[in-house]
Chains A and B, each alone.
Chain A
């Protein structure tokens, strides 16, 4: 079974940067088929889609982070990254790394259903 472990969270000042990492382990994982998505949850708030990295390497981002956040991967390390620049106080959240779901019929739900999640890493942006 695949496991995801995030790291890299911490305290940053407004305008600063942080890089989050998400390491995937376990059998069955491959960047060649698995799409990786970052979802965040602000304190006392709901879930928010941040961005996604397809197996092709293409990325998409939510409007609030577009131009500031970048998702990338290192296949040799089974790691996906979330580079966060120009941080704002509203970026304060727990950031989760998650993967799309292959159902029993073999259909892939890379964009809209996530069955494996990491435990999250906390990001706090404050002066």
Chain B
């Protein structure tokens, strides 16, 4: 069981939006604005898509956006494209003892 909870799957048609949730606790997501999101294509290393809750590294399309409310963070992919089909993982800083927690991952399917 992962420390952060994500739905195992999500899907949408091309052009639609899909939102993935990531639920933690008051000691991780609820306490720190250090939530990141990663995209992982099959057989590849993860790619940083969002950091610090809602910031995008250069080169990441603005179709990807992040947010947080209480103990839950979310990643929204707008204008879905076939190339967005991948596994997505959230992570959150959790303090000096646990350091970093990951979610179990969500497989996004473009219908």
The residues of A with any CB-CB pair to B shorter than 8 Å are 37, 39, 45-49, 52, 60, 62-63, 96, 98, 101, 103-104, 109, 111-115, 117-120
Contact = CB atoms under 8 A, between A and B. Distances in A.
Contacts of A115: 48, 57
Nearest to B34: A112
Specify which of A45, A49, A118, A120 lies most central, judged by the most chain B CB atoms within 10 Å of its CB. Answer: A49
A113 B52 contact: yes
Contact of A111 (B46, B47, B99): B99
A45 B57 CA distance: 26
Given A46-B102, A103-B57, A111 B93 contact: yes
Given A46-B104, A112-B91, A113-B36, A103 B45 contact: no
Interface in B38-96: 38, 45-48, 51-52, 55, 57-58, 89, 91-93, 96
B18 interface: no
B51 A103 contact: yes
A114 B2 contact: no
A48 B102 CA distance: 6
B101 interface: yes
Contacts of A120: 45
B93 to A, nearest CB: 4
A63 B57 CA distance: 30
B10 interface: no
A109 B51 contact: yes
A37 B34 CA distance: 16
For chain B, the bracket of interface size reads 20 to 34
Contacts of A47: 38, 46, 89, 91, 102, 105
A112 B57 contact: no
A39 B104 CA distance: 14
A96 B52 contact: no
B45 A96 contact: yes
Contact of B34 (A45, A49, A111): A111
Contacts of B36: 109, 112-114
A49 B58 contact: no
Given A111-B34, A112-B92, A46 B105 contact: yes
Specify which of A39, A60, A63, A113 lies most central, judged by the most chain B CB atoms within 10 Å of its CB. Answer: A113
